[in-house]
Structure 1
Protein backbone atom coordinates (compact mmCIF):
# COMPACT_ATOMS: atom_id res chain seq x y z
CA UNK A 1 0.00 0.00 0.00
CA UNK A 2 1.18 3.51 -0.79
CA UNK A 3 2.24 5.81 2.06
CA UNK A 4 2.38 9.58 2.30
CA UNK A 5 3.89 11.72 5.03
CA UNK A 6 1.82 14.27 6.89
CA UNK A 7 4.08 16.90 5.30
CA UNK A 8 3.00 15.77 1.83
CA UNK A 9 -0.58 16.66 2.79
CA UNK A 10 0.31 19.99 4.40
CA UNK A 11 -1.72 22.98 3.21
CA UNK A 12 -1.13 26.54 4.42
CA UNK A 13 -3.19 29.62 3.66
CA UNK A 14 -2.41 33.13 4.91
CA UNK A 15 -4.95 35.84 5.61
CA UNK A 16 -4.93 39.40 6.84
CA UNK A 17 -7.84 40.42 9.06
CA UNK A 18 -9.94 43.13 7.43
CA UNK A 19 -12.96 45.04 8.72
CA UNK A 20 -15.43 42.83 6.80
CA UNK A 21 -14.21 39.78 8.77
CA UNK A 22 -15.18 41.27 12.15
CA UNK A 23 -18.21 40.63 14.32
CA UNK A 24 -19.78 42.94 16.91
CA UNK A 25 -16.91 42.15 19.33
CA UNK A 26 -14.39 43.41 16.75
CA UNK A 27 -12.89 39.93 16.38
CA UNK A 28 -13.02 37.64 13.36
CA UNK A 29 -16.46 36.05 13.05
CA UNK A 30 -16.26 32.34 13.93
CA UNK A 31 -18.28 31.30 10.90
CA UNK A 32 -15.77 33.02 8.64
CA UNK A 33 -12.93 31.06 10.29
CA UNK A 34 -14.86 27.80 9.83
CA UNK A 35 -15.33 28.51 6.14
CA UNK A 36 -11.63 29.21 5.65
CA UNK A 37 -10.38 26.26 7.70
CA UNK A 38 -12.69 23.86 5.86
CA UNK A 39 -11.33 25.08 2.54
CA UNK A 40 -7.71 24.67 3.64
CA UNK A 41 -8.37 21.23 5.15
CA UNK A 42 -9.98 20.10 1.89
CA UNK A 43 -6.68 20.76 0.11
CA UNK A 44 -4.89 18.43 2.55
CA UNK A 45 -7.48 15.74 1.81
CA UNK A 46 -7.08 16.19 -1.94
CA UNK A 47 -3.32 15.83 -1.62
CA UNK A 48 -3.88 12.46 0.08
CA UNK A 49 -6.66 10.90 -2.00
CA UNK A 50 -6.70 12.81 -5.33
CA UNK A 51 -10.44 12.20 -5.38
CA UNK A 52 -13.64 14.02 -4.52
CA UNK A 53 -14.54 14.15 -0.84
CA UNK A 54 -17.05 15.83 1.45
CA UNK A 55 -16.72 17.28 4.92
CA UNK A 56 -18.47 14.91 7.35
CA UNK A 57 -17.64 16.42 10.74
CA UNK A 58 -15.73 19.05 12.63
CA UNK A 59 -14.59 17.77 16.04
CA UNK A 60 -12.76 19.22 18.99
CA UNK A 61 -13.05 22.75 17.66
CA UNK A 62 -11.41 25.11 20.11
CA UNK A 63 -11.38 28.88 19.78
CA UNK A 64 -8.28 29.67 21.84
CA UNK A 65 -7.54 33.33 21.16
CA UNK A 66 -9.36 35.92 19.02
CA UNK A 67 -8.08 37.48 15.82
CA UNK A 68 -8.46 41.26 15.57
CA UNK A 69 -7.89 44.04 13.10
CA UNK A 70 -4.12 44.48 12.63
CA UNK A 71 -3.64 40.70 12.91
CA UNK A 72 -2.87 38.16 10.25
CA UNK A 73 -3.19 34.41 10.52
CA UNK A 74 -2.05 31.23 8.82
CA UNK A 75 -4.25 28.18 8.60
CA UNK A 76 -2.17 25.00 8.58
CA UNK A 77 -3.73 21.61 7.93
CA UNK A 78 -2.47 18.09 7.39
CA UNK A 79 -3.84 14.54 7.46
CA UNK A 80 -3.53 12.75 10.83
CA UNK A 81 -5.54 9.59 10.21
CA UNK A 82 -6.94 7.44 7.42
CA UNK A 83 -9.82 4.95 7.55
CA UNK A 84 -11.43 2.94 4.76
CA UNK A 85 -13.07 6.00 3.19
CA UNK A 86 -12.62 8.59 5.94
CA UNK A 87 -9.75 11.00 6.37
CA UNK A 88 -9.02 13.01 9.51
CA UNK A 89 -7.33 16.39 9.16
CA UNK A 90 -5.82 18.45 11.96
CA UNK A 91 -6.09 22.21 11.56
CA UNK A 92 -4.44 24.96 13.55
CA UNK A 93 -4.71 28.67 13.04
CA UNK A 94 -1.67 30.65 14.10
CA UNK A 95 -2.18 34.38 14.51
CA UNK A 96 0.37 37.16 14.27
CA UNK A 97 0.07 40.68 15.60
CA UNK A 98 1.25 42.65 12.56
CA UNK A 99 2.78 45.54 14.53
CA UNK A 100 4.85 43.39 16.94
CA UNK A 101 5.37 40.11 15.09
CA UNK A 102 4.13 38.18 18.14
CA UNK A 103 2.64 34.83 17.14
CA UNK A 104 -0.14 33.00 19.00
CA UNK A 105 -2.33 29.93 18.67
CA UNK A 106 -5.87 30.99 17.88
CA UNK A 107 -7.76 27.81 16.99
CA UNK A 108 -7.41 24.04 16.69
CA UNK A 109 -9.80 21.49 15.20
CA UNK A 110 -10.09 18.05 13.66
CA UNK A 111 -12.16 17.62 10.50
CA UNK A 112 -13.34 14.34 9.05
CA UNK A 113 -13.81 14.00 5.31
CA UNK A 114 -15.32 11.07 3.43
CA UNK A 115 -14.19 10.10 -0.05
CA UNK A 116 -17.21 9.88 -2.36
CA UNK A 117 -15.84 7.06 -4.57
CA UNK A 118 -16.16 3.69 -2.84
CA UNK A 119 -13.41 2.05 -4.89
CA UNK A 120 -10.64 4.50 -3.90
CA UNK A 121 -7.75 2.95 -1.96
CA UNK A 122 -6.38 5.47 0.49
CA UNK A 123 -2.67 5.58 1.29
CA UNK A 124 -1.40 5.22 4.84
CA UNK A 125 -0.20 8.38 6.56
CA UNK A 126 3.22 8.66 8.19
CA UNK A 127 4.02 11.38 10.74
CA UNK A 128 7.36 13.18 10.62
CA UNK A 129 7.44 15.85 13.35
CA UNK A 130 6.87 15.38 17.08
CA UNK A 131 3.51 17.18 16.79
CA UNK A 132 2.44 14.91 13.93
CA UNK A 133 3.57 11.76 15.76
CA UNK A 134 1.54 12.76 18.82
CA UNK A 135 -1.60 13.56 16.82
CA UNK A 136 -1.38 10.48 14.59
CA UNK A 137 -0.84 8.20 17.60
CA UNK A 138 -4.11 9.37 19.16
CA UNK A 139 -6.14 9.04 15.94
CA UNK A 140 -7.63 5.62 16.93
CA UNK A 141 -9.02 7.16 20.15
CA UNK A 142 -10.70 10.00 18.24
CA UNK A 143 -12.00 7.53 15.67
CA UNK A 144 -13.65 5.42 18.41
CA UNK A 145 -15.16 8.55 19.96
CA UNK A 146 -16.61 9.57 16.59
CA UNK A 147 -18.22 6.15 16.21
CA UNK A 148 -19.84 6.53 19.64
CA UNK A 149 -20.95 10.05 18.73
CA UNK A 150 -22.59 8.76 15.52
CA UNK A 151 -24.65 6.29 17.57
CA UNK A 152 -25.73 9.06 19.94
CA UNK A 153 -26.46 11.34 16.99
CA UNK A 154 -28.74 8.70 15.42
CA UNK A 155 -30.68 8.42 18.71
CA UNK A 156 -30.94 12.20 18.96
CA UNK A 157 -32.21 12.54 15.40
CA UNK A 158 -35.05 10.09 16.09
CA UNK A 159 -36.45 12.50 18.69
CA UNK A 160 -36.11 15.75 16.80
CA UNK A 161 -39.40 17.37 15.86
CA UNK A 162 -39.32 18.81 12.35
CA UNK A 163 -42.63 20.67 12.67
CA UNK A 164 -42.67 24.40 13.21
CA UNK A 165 -44.13 25.51 16.59
CA UNK A 166 -47.19 26.97 14.86
CA UNK A 167 -47.91 23.82 12.80
Structure 2
Protein backbone atom coordinates (compact mmCIF):
# COMPACT_ATOMS: atom_id res chain seq x y z
CA UNK A 1 0.00 0.00 0.00
CA UNK A 2 1.23 3.51 -0.70
CA UNK A 3 1.83 5.79 2.31
CA UNK A 4 -0.41 8.51 0.85
CA UNK A 5 -3.31 8.61 -1.56
CA UNK A 6 -4.81 11.58 -3.31
CA UNK A 7 -8.53 12.12 -2.84
CA UNK A 8 -8.98 11.36 -6.55
CA UNK A 9 -7.34 7.95 -6.15
CA UNK A 10 -10.20 7.02 -3.80
CA UNK A 11 -12.96 8.67 -5.83
CA UNK A 12 -16.10 6.61 -6.44
CA UNK A 13 -19.00 7.87 -8.56
CA UNK A 14 -22.46 6.42 -9.08
CA UNK A 15 -25.40 7.80 -11.00
CA UNK A 16 -29.00 7.00 -10.25
CA UNK A 17 -32.23 8.10 -11.92
CA UNK A 18 -35.12 8.77 -9.54
CA UNK A 19 -38.03 6.47 -10.34
CA UNK A 20 -41.47 5.97 -8.80
CA UNK A 21 -40.23 3.23 -6.45
CA UNK A 22 -37.70 5.67 -4.92
CA UNK A 23 -40.32 8.22 -3.85
CA UNK A 24 -41.99 8.87 -0.51
CA UNK A 25 -45.56 10.11 0.03
CA UNK A 26 -44.44 13.69 -0.70
CA UNK A 27 -43.24 12.79 -4.20
CA UNK A 28 -39.58 13.24 -3.29
CA UNK A 29 -36.75 10.75 -2.89
CA UNK A 30 -37.14 8.67 0.28
CA UNK A 31 -34.24 9.58 2.59
CA UNK A 32 -33.58 5.96 3.52
CA UNK A 33 -33.16 5.07 -0.15
CA UNK A 34 -30.64 7.89 -0.56
CA UNK A 35 -28.68 6.72 2.48
CA UNK A 36 -28.57 3.16 1.14
CA UNK A 37 -27.10 4.29 -2.17
CA UNK A 38 -24.62 6.75 -0.65
CA UNK A 39 -23.33 4.19 1.88
CA UNK A 40 -22.77 1.66 -0.91
CA UNK A 41 -20.85 4.20 -3.00
CA UNK A 42 -18.80 5.43 -0.04
CA UNK A 43 -17.82 1.85 0.81
CA UNK A 44 -16.07 1.62 -2.57
CA UNK A 45 -13.98 4.66 -1.64
CA UNK A 46 -13.16 3.17 1.77
CA UNK A 47 -12.08 -0.17 0.34
CA UNK A 48 -9.92 1.55 -2.26
CA UNK A 49 -8.15 3.28 0.61
CA UNK A 50 -7.54 0.24 2.84
CA UNK A 51 -7.96 -2.84 0.61
CA UNK A 52 -9.45 -4.59 3.62
CA UNK A 53 -12.77 -5.72 5.02
CA UNK A 54 -14.60 -2.84 6.66
CA UNK A 55 -17.78 -1.74 8.35
CA UNK A 56 -19.72 1.50 8.42
CA UNK A 57 -19.17 2.99 11.88
CA UNK A 58 -20.94 6.35 11.64
CA UNK A 59 -22.97 8.43 9.24
CA UNK A 60 -22.43 12.05 10.28
CA UNK A 61 -23.55 15.47 9.21
CA UNK A 62 -26.11 14.31 6.68
CA UNK A 63 -27.47 17.48 5.15
CA UNK A 64 -30.52 17.20 2.91
CA UNK A 65 -30.16 20.43 0.95
CA UNK A 66 -32.60 20.14 -1.95
CA UNK A 67 -35.18 17.46 -2.74
CA UNK A 68 -34.94 15.01 -5.62
CA UNK A 69 -38.14 14.38 -7.55
CA UNK A 70 -39.35 11.99 -10.24
CA UNK A 71 -37.09 11.92 -13.31
CA UNK A 72 -34.24 13.77 -11.59
CA UNK A 73 -30.87 12.08 -11.72
CA UNK A 74 -28.34 12.13 -8.94
CA UNK A 75 -24.61 11.77 -9.15
CA UNK A 76 -22.98 10.59 -5.93
CA UNK A 77 -19.29 11.40 -5.55
CA UNK A 78 -17.31 10.04 -2.60
CA UNK A 79 -13.66 10.34 -1.64
CA UNK A 80 -11.38 9.97 1.37
CA UNK A 81 -11.00 13.11 3.51
CA UNK A 82 -9.13 11.72 6.52
CA UNK A 83 -7.62 8.57 7.96
CA UNK A 84 -6.53 7.20 11.30
CA UNK A 85 -5.01 3.92 12.34
CA UNK A 86 -8.02 1.74 11.44
CA UNK A 87 -10.73 4.29 10.69
CA UNK A 88 -11.27 6.63 7.79
CA UNK A 89 -13.64 9.41 6.87
CA UNK A 90 -15.33 9.54 3.47
CA UNK A 91 -17.03 12.67 2.16
CA UNK A 92 -20.22 12.26 0.14
CA UNK A 93 -21.52 14.88 -2.30
CA UNK A 94 -24.79 14.29 -4.13
CA UNK A 95 -25.43 16.47 -7.15
CA UNK A 96 -28.87 16.47 -8.71
CA UNK A 97 -29.76 17.06 -12.33
CA UNK A 98 -33.16 18.02 -13.69
CA UNK A 99 -33.18 15.74 -16.70
CA UNK A 100 -35.57 17.88 -18.77
CA UNK A 101 -33.58 21.11 -18.36
CA UNK A 102 -30.04 20.07 -17.45
CA UNK A 103 -30.11 22.24 -14.31
CA UNK A 104 -27.68 20.93 -11.68
CA UNK A 105 -28.09 21.41 -7.94
CA UNK A 106 -26.48 20.29 -4.69
CA UNK A 107 -28.91 17.80 -3.16
CA UNK A 108 -27.10 16.50 -0.09
CA UNK A 109 -23.75 16.03 1.64
CA UNK A 110 -22.55 13.68 4.36
CA UNK A 111 -19.49 12.25 6.09
CA UNK A 112 -19.24 8.51 6.72
CA UNK A 113 -16.73 6.82 9.00
CA UNK A 114 -15.58 3.33 8.08
CA UNK A 115 -13.46 1.02 10.21
CA UNK A 116 -11.19 -1.65 8.78
CA UNK A 117 -11.86 -4.98 10.50
CA UNK A 118 -8.62 -6.73 9.54
CA UNK A 119 -5.85 -6.39 12.15
CA UNK A 120 -2.94 -5.87 9.77
CA UNK A 121 -4.32 -2.80 7.98
CA UNK A 122 -2.43 0.41 7.38
CA UNK A 123 -4.62 3.17 6.03
CA UNK A 124 -2.68 5.66 3.93
CA UNK A 125 -2.78 9.37 4.68
CA UNK A 126 -4.82 11.45 2.27
CA UNK A 127 -3.36 14.20 0.09
CA UNK A 128 -5.91 16.78 -1.09
CA UNK A 129 -5.31 18.68 -4.32
CA UNK A 130 -8.34 20.78 -5.31
CA UNK A 131 -9.76 23.68 -3.31
CA UNK A 132 -12.76 21.54 -2.30
CA UNK A 133 -10.54 18.66 -1.14
CA UNK A 134 -8.17 20.94 0.79
CA UNK A 135 -11.09 22.62 2.57
CA UNK A 136 -12.73 19.32 3.54
CA UNK A 137 -9.53 17.56 4.59
CA UNK A 138 -8.51 20.54 6.73
CA UNK A 139 -11.63 19.99 8.87
CA UNK A 140 -11.03 16.26 9.44
CA UNK A 141 -9.36 16.56 12.88
CA UNK A 142 -12.17 18.71 14.26
CA UNK A 143 -14.87 16.36 12.91
CA UNK A 144 -12.99 13.33 14.32
CA UNK A 145 -12.79 14.96 17.74
CA UNK A 146 -16.54 15.70 17.63
CA UNK A 147 -17.26 12.07 16.65
CA UNK A 148 -15.23 10.87 19.63
CA UNK A 149 -17.25 13.12 21.96
CA UNK A 150 -20.49 11.86 20.39
CA UNK A 151 -19.31 8.25 20.81
CA UNK A 152 -18.66 8.79 24.51
CA UNK A 153 -22.06 10.45 24.95
CA UNK A 154 -23.68 7.49 23.19
CA UNK A 155 -21.89 5.05 25.52
CA UNK A 156 -23.12 7.03 28.52
CA UNK A 157 -26.68 7.13 27.18
CA UNK A 158 -26.73 3.36 26.60
CA UNK A 159 -26.34 2.86 30.34
CA UNK A 160 -29.78 4.45 30.82
CA UNK A 161 -31.72 2.78 28.02
CA UNK A 162 -34.15 0.02 28.90
CA UNK A 163 -34.38 -3.16 26.85
CA UNK A 164 -37.59 -4.28 28.58
CA UNK A 165 -40.59 -5.01 26.42
CA UNK A 166 -42.68 -1.82 26.73
CA UNK A 167 -45.97 -3.66 26.09
CA UNK A 168 -45.62 -5.86 29.18
TM-score scaled to structure 2, two decimals? 0.98
2:128 counterpart of 1:120: no
Give the secondary-structure state (helix, strand or coil) at the position aligned to 2:32: helix
In structure 2, the partner of 1:7 is 8
In structure 1, the partner of 2:30 is 29
Residues in 2 aligned to 1:90 and 1:160: alpha-carbon distance in whole angstroms: 31
The correspondence of residues 82-161 of structure 1 with structure 2, limited to 5 A, is 82-161=83-162
Mark the runs of 5 or more structure 1 residues left unpaired by the alignment.
none
In structure 1, the partner of 2:43 is 42
Residues in 2 aligned to 1:165 and 1:53: alpha-carbon distance in whole angstroms: 35
| CA-CA distance at 1:166 after TM superposition | 2.2
Mark the runs of 5 or more structure 2 residues left unpaired by the alignment.
none
- Displacement over 3 Å in runs of 4+: none
Give the secondary-structure state (helix, strand or coil) at the position aligned to 2:37: helix
| CA-CA distance at 1:157 after TM superposition | 0.5
Aligned residues: 167
Give the secondary-structure state (helix, strand or coil) at the position aligned to 2:41: helix
